[in-house]
Amino acid sequence: MFPERLRALRRGQHITLGELAAALNALPNETHTRKNTASQLGNWERGIRTPSFMEVRKLAEYFDVTMDYLTGKAERDEYDLGRLFLSGKQLSFNRELLSGQDRYEIYQLIDGYLHGRENRTTTSSPNQQEELDLHLDDH
């Protein structure tokens, strides 16, 4: 499970093994571990070698997933948008970088939406899912 998840996460970010190795090497390092290499990461993705606990932790931190998700212990990874918006991480939407003000306003919009939903009436049944048209083809 780990090799498949690592490969999917890396490919989902559209980065090479070398780029991932460089990014991992740039992370703050609490222990004196050896530098990551593209060859090493390729061996992990092919299941030839298994990374140490510290290496899995670095990967989880880099991809912003839990170690349980990365190792296959959890099926889905959950994100708390509130924590994400209030974190120091750089965020973008449709490849447009969000400013601090953007993040704050979007956070407020989501918070207002969630707290105001009990005041809204719905015409659909609780089990019926509404369709969301994002007009993705209009650009």
Same domain, 12 and 64: yes
Same domain, 90 and 64: no
Same domain, 7 and 67: yes
Same domain, 10 and 58: yes
The reply to whether 126 falls in a domain is no
Mean pLDDT of 3-28: 91
Instruction: Give residue 79's pLDDT.
Output: 67
Instruction: Give residue 31's pLDDT.
Output: 61
Task: Write out 45-100 in H/E/C secondary structure.
Answer: HCCCCCCCHHHHHHHHHHHCCCHHHHHCCCCCCCCCHHHHHHCCCCCEECCEECCH
Residue 124 has pLDDT above 80, yes or no: no
The reply to whether 100 falls in a domain is yes
Look up the CATH number of the domain holding residue 65. 1.10.260.40
- Residue range of the domain that includes 97: 79-119
The reply to whether 31 falls in a domain is yes
> For the chain, how many structural domains are there in total?
2
pTM of the entire predicted model: 0.55
Residue 18 has pLDDT above 80, yes or no: yes
Residue 39 has pLDDT above 80, yes or no: yes
The reply to whether 131 falls in a domain is no
Instruction: Give residue 56's pLDDT.
Output: 92
